[in-house]
Amino acid sequence: MNIGIIGLGLMGGSLGLALKKLPEKYTIIGYDHNPTHISDALRLKLVDNIVHDFNEIKNCDVIILTIPVDAIIATAQTLTDVAPTCTIIDFGSSKEKISNSIPLQIRTNFVTAHPMTGTEKFGPTAAIEELYTEKTMVVCDVEKSGDLQKGVAIGIFKDIDAKIVFMEANEHDRHAAFISHMPHTVSFALANTVMKQEDPKSIIALAGGGFRSMSRIAKSSPHMWEDIFRQNKTNLLDSLNAFTTELALCQKMIEDEAWDELHQWMIEANKLHDIL
């Protein structure tokens, strides 16, 4: 089975590494508009081959889009002439807009998915062979995918040892706003708050594990996350409103020196890890 991966950064490169463990089953073909990504992917052996003609990717049995969410929508419009048996999988972090933007003539070719994994690093050099192992792979609006395509996608997800969860795209976007998109805004805000102080280097010199953990994802790609925030704007704003309500409550309890209430509020927060 020839698998064409469009986008050879963290997600695409890691997928290539994972699937190359099954050379008897898959041949991995890469495509990327960035010449540095192409040379890095070849040097790091993330793929078996690189093509420079987009039409060659269209001839693959499977096409996987591991590119920013706006680019997924744009690229989908150019794939209307793929074979009826072709499987197209996207790995976008927001799903409803992507799902609704797929051209009708290839809607059954598409499987919209989101691997709930990643790091703050990006580019081919960030690729990790085990990135998808035991991580949740959310498959959305599966009733809109063809039976053949659904089977092919699930087979690939099982081969990279992902845990498959089925969900509607709008439900995914609501949940992702709270557990992924909103935390990224908080991390960016935390980083900017410190950087705007008079002596940020001295502050950071004192930084322990807590600050580093909370600010780590502020190193994520601004280009990628701007697109995600745009596509999931409504759900993101809802999650930010909920977060700022809790933050304001915390601030008020501190101002009022309501230490018992603050203590109980933190106990309630501790319960999150009972279900993680």
Q: Environment class of residue 126 by beta-carbon count within 10 Å: exposed (0-12), middle (13-18) or buried (19+)?
A: middle
Q: What is the per-residue pLDDT for 244?
A: 97
**Cα 150 to Cα 148: distance, rounded to the nearest angstrom:** 5
Same domain, yes or no: 150 and 25: yes
Same domain, yes or no: 104 and 15: yes
Q: What is the per-residue pLDDT for 165?
A: 97
CATH classification of the domain holding 205? 1.10.3660.10
Q: What is the per-residue pLDDT for 273?
A: 85
Same domain, yes or no: 159 and 177: no
Considering 167, 187, 220, which residue would you say is the last residue of a domain? Answer: 167
pLDDT averages per 10-residue partition of the chain, 276 residues: 95 96 95 93 94 94 96 96 97 95 97 90 91 96 97 97 96 95 95 87 79 86 91 96 97 97 96 86
Q: What is the per-residue pLDDT for 89?
A: 98
Number of domains in the chain: 2
User: What would the pLDDT profile of 18-57 be if each residue is shown by its tens digit?
Assistant: 999 999 999 999 999 999 999 999 999 999 999 999 999 9
Same domain, yes or no: 93 and 12: yes
Range of the domain at 202: 172-275
Considering 167, 186, 213, which residue would you say is the last residue of a domain? Answer: 167
Same domain, yes or no: 145 and 206: no
Same domain, yes or no: 186 and 127: no
Same domain, yes or no: 119 and 244: no
Percentage of the chain beyond pLDDT 70 is 100
Overall pTM surpassing 0.85 (yes/no): yes
Same domain, yes or no: 124 and 257: no
Tokens standing for 22? 């099954």
Same domain, yes or no: 244 and 162: no
Torsion of CA 195, 196, 197, 202, to 10 degrees: 20
Tokens standing for 133? 């192992």
Q: Show contacts of 212-220: CB within 8 Å, 24+ apart.
A: 214/186, 214/187, 214/190, 215/187, 215/190, 215/191, 216/120, 216/187, 217/120, 217/183, 217/184, 217/187, 218/120, 218/184, 218/187, 218/188, 218/190, 218/191, 219/120, 219/121, 220/120, 220/122, 220/184, 220/187
Contact at 8 Å (CB) between 114 and 166? no
Same domain, yes or no: 212 and 152: no
Considering 134, 167, 200, which residue would you say is the last residue of a domain? Answer: 167
CA-nearest of 31, 94, 23 to 63 is: 31
CATH classification of the domain holding 79? 3.40.50.720
Same domain, yes or no: 34 and 80: yes
Same domain, yes or no: 30 and 161: yes
